[in-house]
């Protein structure tokens, strides 16, 4: 009976974001745009900036998105157009404009093939189909909604996207809950529960398990419902949102209702109703009003029953919650019939029949509106194509007029050129001999460079192997020895009496030994970080930044664009050493307060950016070993190094490593 999940996600994300948080996001994206030079990263940041602006000020946000759509950047690349429509289209869902949301999703589908990565295409295709399902569900098209949910589930199984699967199972269950098909709803909720137990998705565990318990109660699976609610009750203190508690107390009420403990059911639904009001969403308020009306009816409190049903009907009609309107009309007809007011019962049965006709009419209106919007969009595109063709024809006509003039000019030029070439031929032959000599010299230089590169590769490889060996020796050898010495000294302290005048010296020695062990571990970690070996490049860099940030004197901010887990071990080690050397230089020499690190994986290769707000330096006067090491490693990866700095203006260093 609750709304489909994408809207739930939007609510949970957006409600905590106050104006100050949006202002912080806008400032962060503005700063990033000033520092970032990579084209693809800049486009994403522009979109996120427009999105943050829209959420803070709708009018300004619309203008920002319109400017982006009219820009040359948008027109230059289909993948840029895809991400534009992905972010912009989401706003239509937020405001309930489902027809335009469907058109935006259709545009996204048409642009999917412009993305270079098959994995990325599959992930985004599954998301788009899930969004189609949620959107069609909200315009009361359950068959289309289920079709898209199943297509999304099929893709997510193939790519092993468990969180996406859980979302679609949850959404599919509610298609059957709306029509009170409890066995099918049970199966989908069970699938979602299996995943949430395995992956610990967080707040979704409470919501799904509570809803599953309520459906179990409807199916008379009382024992299973009790077990689920007992488990969920233990998780409830960790709930972040009131909505999680709404689901829990609703399920408690449903179970007591099915057990015919109507007073207890009323108590739990009143609690859920209070929380729904705190959540301030009319959908959940209407849902609990219906449940309260059902409980009051069983307790023969007719005035309260009628009041709850009427208020639920008013909210549901105003918000066009079609399945809920239908349910309330049916309940009110049964209520009047049970109280002997057959005239009113017949009146509400008529309203129920009229509503069913209205429901079908509304569906048809949505379909007509969608088809009209598609037709207008097609007409607009056809008009654009026609104008482009007319421009092409005019350009061709202009070209034809110029051909004659060009032919005459070419004739004169050819005659002049023949005369010129006759006199130039002698000089060319002379230059040719000189060029051949230069080519030979160039080949010699290239062979020498190749030889130097091979030597450099061997040195770098040897350095990494020696670092690994020394780190292992320090940790396993010297570390174990120092730990053993500490244990022996501790044992001596326990087994022998030490003169009071020597206790301080003994304990100081133990403290110094602890410091030595910690320093040894730090040195071993710097030589070969465990995070790099176990988890990969991104995690190692983030771990390094977190360690620096703990001191509070310097802020390091790391951003990763794309997935770097497919990099081979050697590439990850060399990139980490480059990052480590650049950040060490910034920390030691630049006197920076903030360092931005960004690594992007794109179609052409990898881009590593390290930027600081320090004092900068004069590149013509810098010949330190640090930059020399960086250049050697960049050359090893056949990449390029760009340094943008000057005294007092900070430093921006970009390393670009090509694929292959």
Residue 236 has pLDDT above 80, yes or no: yes
Top pLDDT among 456 and 93 is at 93
Q: What is the DSSP letter of 655?
A: E
- Phi, psi at 634, each rounded to 5°: -65, -45
pLDDT at 276: 92
Residue 379 has pLDDT above 70, yes or no: no
Residue 40 has pLDDT above 90, yes or no: no
Tokens of 219: 């199916």
Q: 631-643: per-residue pLDDT in tens? A: 888 888 888 999 8
Top pLDDT among 390 and 310 is at 310
- pLDDT winner (highest mean) among 221-235, 359-373, 391-405, 414-428: 221-235
Measured CA to CA in angstroms, residue 655 lies from 241, 290, 422, 581 at distances of: 43, 62, 49, 12
* Residues 115, 120: Cα–Cα separation, whole Å: 7
Residue 377 has pLDDT above 60, yes or no: no
Examine residue 330 and state whether it is found in any structural domain, yes or no: no
Top pLDDT among 186 and 546 is at 186
* Residues 404, 237: Cα–Cα separation, whole Å: 85
pLDDT at 477: 53
Q: 63-108: per-residue pLDDT in tens? A: 999 998 899 889 888 888 888 998 888 888 777 788 888 888 889 8
Tokens of 135: 């959107």
Contact 545, 600 (CB under 8 A): no
Examine residue 317 and state whether it is found in any structural domain, yes or no: no
* Residues 630, 77: Cα–Cα separation, whole Å: 34
- pLDDT winner (highest mean) among 356-365, 506-515, 557-566: 557-566
- pLDDT winner (highest mean) among 51-60, 433-442, 515-524: 51-60
475, 476, 477, 482 alpha-carbon torsion, rounded to 10°:
60
Collapsing DSSP states into helix, strand and coil, what is residue 444?
Answer: helix
Tokens of 308: 């709850």
* Residues 565, 576: Cα–Cα separation, whole Å: 13
Encode 375-391: b = buried (16+ Cβ within 10 Å), e = exposed. eeeeeeeeeeeeeeeee
User: In sequence order, what are the residues at sequence separation of 6 or more whose Cβ sits closer than 8 angstroms to the Cβ of residue 496?
Assistant: none
- Phi, psi at 596, each rounded to 5°: -100, 130
Q: What is the DSSP letter of 555?
A: E
Percent of the chain with pLDDT over 70: 71
Examine residue 398 and state whether it is found in any structural domain, yes or no: no
Contact 6, 130 (CB under 8 A): yes
- Phi, psi at 201, each rounded to 5°: -75, -5
Examine residue 156 and state whether it is found in any structural domain, yes or no: no
pLDDT at 503: 64
pLDDT at 12: 37
Q: What is the overall mean pLDDT for the chain?
A: 79
Q: How confident is the model at residue 619 (pLDDT cuts 50, 70, 90)?
A: confident
Top pLDDT among 277 and 502 is at 277
Contacts from 443-450 at CB under 8 Å and sequence distance 24+? none
> What's the full length of the chain, in residues?
660
Total of domains in the chain: 1
Examine residue 189 and state whether it is found in any structural domain, yes or no: no
Percent of the chain with pLDDT over 90: 24
* Residues 164, 128: Cα–Cα separation, whole Å: 11
Top pLDDT among 444 and 282 is at 282
- pLDDT winner (highest mean) among 33-37, 290-294, 401-405: 290-294
- For the chain, give percent helix, strand, coil, nearest 5: 80, 5, 15
Average pLDDT for 137-166 = 89
* Residues 407, 413: Cα–Cα separation, whole Å: 10
137, 140, 143, 146 alpha-carbon torsion, rounded to 10°:
10
Residue 20 has pLDDT above 70, yes or no: no
Sign of CA dihedral 531, 536, 538, 541: positive
* Residues 603, 381: Cα–Cα separation, whole Å: 30
Average pLDDT for 200-210 = 81
Examine residue 543 and state whether it is found in any structural domain, yes or no: yes
* Residues 51, 607: Cα–Cα separation, whole Å: 25
How many C-beta atoms lie closer than 10 Å to residue 443's C-beta? 10
pLDDT at 16: 38
Average pLDDT for 564-575 = 79
Q: What is the DSSP letter of 641?
A: E
Q: What is the DSSP letter of 96?
A: T
29-33, 211-215, 268-272, 517-521: segment of lowest average pLDDT: 517-521
Top pLDDT among 659 and 209 is at 209
Torsion-angle region of 552 (φ positive above 0: left; ψ -120 to 50: alpha; else: beta): left
Sign of CA dihedral 630, 635, 638, 641: positive
pLDDT at 8: 40
Top pLDDT among 147 and 414 is at 147
- Phi, psi at 568, each rounded to 5°: -75, 165
Q: How confident is the model at residue 486 (pLDDT cuts 50, 70, 90)?
A: low
Tokens of 383: 């008009």
Examine residue 338 and state whether it is found in any structural domain, yes or no: no
How many C-beta atoms lie closer than 10 Å to residue 646's C-beta? 12
Q: How confident is the model at residue 19 (pLDDT cuts 50, 70, 90)?
A: very low
Collapsing DSSP states into helix, strand and coil, what is residue 657?
Answer: strand
77-81, 378-382, 494-498, 581-585: segment of lowest average pLDDT: 378-382
Tokens of 4: 């489909």
Top pLDDT among 557 and 517 is at 557
354-358, 396-400, 538-542: segment of lowest average pLDDT: 396-400
pLDDT at 539: 86
pLDDT at 255: 95
In order, the DSSP letters of 188-233 are HHHHHHHHHHHH--SHHHHHHHHHHHHHHHHTT-HHHHHHHHHHHH
* Residues 252, 232: Cα–Cα separation, whole Å: 11
pLDDT at 180: 84
Examine residue 569 and state whether it is found in any structural domain, yes or no: yes
Average pLDDT for 147-168 = 91
pLDDT at 514: 67
Q: Name the residue range of residue 564's domain.
A: 535-658
Residue 416 has pLDDT above 70, yes or no: no
* Residues 660, 524: Cα–Cα separation, whole Å: 32
* Residues 84, 70: Cα–Cα separation, whole Å: 11
In order, the DSSP letters of 572-640 are HHHHHHHHHHHHHHIIIII--SEEEEEEEEETTEEEEEEEE-S----GGG---HHHHHHHHHHHHTT-E
CATH number, domain containing residue 611: 3.30.565.10
User: In sequence order, what are the residues at sequence separation of 6 or more whose Cβ sits closer than 8 angstroms to the Cβ of residue 470?
Assistant: 524, 527
Residue 296 has pLDDT above 90, yes or no: yes
């Amino acid at each position: 009976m609750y709304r489909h999940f994408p809207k739930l996600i939007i609510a949970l994300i957006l409600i905590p974001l106050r104006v100050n948080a949006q202002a912080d996001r806008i400032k962060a994206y503005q700063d990033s745009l000033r520092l970032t030079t990579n084209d693809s990263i800049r486009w994403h940041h522009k979109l996120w900036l427009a999105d943050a602006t829209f959420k803070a000020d709708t009018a300004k946000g619309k203008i920002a998105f319109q400017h982006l759509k009219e820009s040359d950047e948008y027109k230059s690349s289909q993948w840029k157009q895809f991400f534009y429509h992905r972010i912009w289209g989401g706003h239509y869902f937020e405001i309930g404009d489902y027809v335009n949301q469907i058109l935006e999703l259709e545009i996204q589908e048409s642009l999917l093939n412009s993305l270079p990565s098959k994995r990325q295409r599959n992930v985004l295709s599954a998301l788009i189909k899930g969004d189609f399902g949620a959107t069609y569900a909200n315009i009361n098209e359950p068959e289309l909604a289920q079709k898209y949910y199943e297509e999304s589930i099929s893709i997510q199984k193939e790519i092993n996207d468990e969180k996406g699967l859980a979302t679609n199972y949850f959404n599919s269950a509610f298609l059957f809950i709306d029509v009170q098909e409890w066995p099918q709803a049970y199966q989908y909720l069970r699938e979602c529960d299996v995943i949430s137990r395995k992956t610990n998705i967080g707040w979704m565990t409470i919501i799904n398990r509570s809803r599953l318990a309520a459906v179990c109660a409807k199916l008379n699976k009382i024992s299973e419902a009790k077990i689920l609610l007992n488990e969920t009750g233990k998780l409830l203190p960790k709930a972040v949102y009131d909505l999680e508690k709404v689901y829990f107390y609703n399920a408690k009420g449903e179970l007591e209702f099915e057990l015919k403990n109507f007073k207890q059911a009323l108590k739990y639904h009143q609690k859920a109703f209070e929380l729904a009001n705190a959540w301030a969403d009319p959908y959940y308020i209407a849902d609990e009003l219906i449940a309260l009306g059902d409980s009051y009816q069983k307790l023969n409190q007719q005035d309260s029953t009628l009041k709850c049903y009427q208020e639920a009907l008013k909210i549901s009609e105003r918000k066009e919650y079609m399945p809920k309107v239908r349910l309330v009309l049916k309940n009110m007809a049964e209520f009047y019939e049970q109280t002997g007011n057959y005239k009113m019962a017949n009146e509400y049965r008529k309203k129920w029949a009229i509503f069913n006709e209205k429901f079908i009419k509304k569906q048809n209106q949505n379909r007509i509106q969608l088809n009209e919007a598609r037709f207008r969009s097609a007409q607009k595109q056809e008009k654009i194509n026609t104008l482009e063709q007319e421009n092409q024809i005019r350009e061709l006509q202009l070209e034809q007029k110029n051909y004659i003039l060009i032919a005459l000019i070419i004739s004169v030029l050819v005659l002049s050129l023949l005369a010129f070439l006759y006199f130039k031929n002698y000089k060319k032959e002379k230059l040719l001999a000189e060029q051949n000599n230069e080519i030979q010299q160039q080949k010699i230089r290239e062979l020498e460079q190749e030889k130097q590169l091979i030597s450099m590769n061997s040195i770098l490889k040897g350095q990494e192997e020696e670092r690994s060996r020394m780190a292992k020796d320090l940790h396993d050898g010297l570390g174990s020895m120092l730990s053993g010495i500490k244990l022996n000294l501790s044992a001596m302290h326990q087994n022998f009496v030490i003169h009071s005048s020597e206790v301080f010296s003994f304990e100081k020695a133990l403290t110094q030994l602890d410091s030595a062990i910690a320093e040894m571990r730090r040195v071993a970690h710097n030589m070969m970080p465990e995070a790099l070996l176990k988890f990969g490049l991104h995690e190692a860099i983030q771990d390094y930044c977190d360690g620096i940030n703990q001191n509070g004197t310097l802020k390091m901010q790391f951003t990763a664009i794309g997935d770097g887990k497919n990099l081979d071990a050697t590439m990850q080690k060399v990139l980490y050493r480059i990052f480590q050397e650049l950040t060490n230089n910034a920390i030691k020499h630049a006197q920076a307060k903030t360092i931005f690190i960004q690594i992007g994986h794109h179609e052409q290769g990898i881009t590593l950016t390290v930027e600081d707000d320090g004092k900068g330096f004069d590149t013509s006067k810098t010949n330190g070993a640090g930059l020399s090491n960086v250049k050697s490693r960049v050359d090893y990866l056949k990449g390029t190094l760009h340094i943008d700095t000057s005294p007092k203006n900070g430093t921006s260093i970009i390393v670009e490593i090509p694929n292959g």
